[in-house]
Each structure stands twice: as C-alpha cells, then as structure tokens.
Amino acid sequence: MTTRREASEDEAIRQILDRIDSDQNISQRDLADELGVALGMVNAYIKRCVHKGLVKIQQVPRRRYRYYLTPQGFAEKSRLTAQYLTDSFGALKRGLSSFDRLYADLAEAGHHRVILCGDDELVEVGILSSLSTPVDIVGVFNPLGVNHTVRGVPAIDPSDPPEADRWVLAVAKNGEEAFARLAEIVPAERIIMPDVLHLYMLRSSSSDRGAA
C-alpha cells in the first residue's frame, strides 16, 4: 500500500522529470520555486533520480548544469503521469459525488442560493457539480487569501455579501483555519461542507498529531 509520503514524493519526482523533459537548462532553484519546496529537498530528489538512472547531469559553462532524462527516466515519467491522471480522475469523481449529495440535501431543504468558500480545486468541483442541480452559486469567497473570480463566478465582498442560504466551505487544505475565519463573518450554523471535506480535515488533524 502506498503511503501519503510516498505518494507526495512520487508527485514531486513526476513534476521534476516533466520539467526536465521540457527544459534541460532549468535550475534546481527554479524547480524548488515551482514545487514550493526547499532547495535542499529538490537536490535530494535530483540525486535520487540520478541514482535510479532516471536523470543524467552535464556541467556546462558558468558552473551551471544541464539535466537529461534517460530512456528509463522517460519510462518512469510516463508511468507516474499515468498514475497521476488515474488518481486525479478518481479524486474528481469523489468530489463531484460529495457535492451532488450536499446540493441534493440543500435543495430538499429549500436552500438554493450558495456561496462557495475556498481557493483550490474543490471550489471548481463545487461549481461544476452545481450545473446539474437547482442550486445557484451566487459568489465565491476565499477566507484565507485574496478573492478572485472562479470559472465566471464573481468574488463577493464579505462586508456586503449577496443574499445566500448557506456558505459552503470547499478547501482541501487548512480546513479548520478556513472555517474559523469564515465563522468570524457568518454564523457557524450557516456554514456547511461536503462530506469529502470532513475526510480531508480528519487526515490533516491526524497528520498534525503524528508530527507533534
């Protein structure tokens, strides 16, 4: 069984192999910035790829390095990409099903106007799922950052929000913090979330306890 750490490392290596394939002159610092990890972590991943025979390194002038994928590296990139697409499609299906159940419950209770709250893929999934339901997404709001339009749905002004029956929390990370920030704006009893988010928050809490 693949652990979360192994899955995270596989995803980082997939992105590194993909970027080396598209730009052999990319630097480790650029890779670190794109992946959002420490430079030392990228260096460790590169060394692992070299050790496994996935990448070769050539020194070029001005103390820079050029990276090449080996035939084995191309094969591994293809394998990891296929796994990524499979996992992503499965996550999308689970997210859509979760929002479908939530919207069905809302419609049955007579709640049709909703504000989606978050700034990641779950907001887009929530918008997509609403298209086949009587629920109307009247705006989006990011409780942890800067507001912006998502898939044509306007960002709201939290000081003067449109009328809404419920505010739906839709974040895959920092869910507890997002809920707390949102509860400062709207009564907690008007905040709901898809059941898949409960799972994300449970995993996050378990991870925090394990790291303590």
Domain ranges of the chain: 4-69, 90-211
Q: What is the pLDDT of residue 7?
A: 58
Is the model's pTM score more than 0.75?
no
CATH fold, domain 4-69, is Arc Repressor Mutant, subunit A (1.10.10)
What pLDDT is recorded for position 204? 45
66 within 8 A of 25, measured Cβ to Cβ: yes
Residue 42's contacts (CB-CB under 8 Å, 6 or more residues apart) are 16, 28, 31, 32, 35
Q: Give the integer Cα–Cα distance in Å for 185 and 205.
A: 24
Mean pLDDT of the residues in the chain: 84
pLDDT of residue 210: 40
CATH number for the region 90-211 comes to 3.40.50
Q: Give pLDDT, residue 65.
A: 86
Dist CA 195 CA 103 (whole Å): 11
Under the banding of pLDDT at 50, 70 and 90, the label for residue 82 is: confident
pLDDT tens across 184-211, in order? 989 999 999 888 776 554 444 444 434 3
Sequence-distant (6+) residues with CB within 8 A of 66 are 24, 25, 57, 58, 59, 60
pLDDT at 42 over 80: yes
d(CA 45, CA 42): 5
Instruction: Lowest mean pLDDT of 41-50, 84-93, 99-108, name the range.
Output: 84-93
Residue 100 confidence (pLDDT): 93
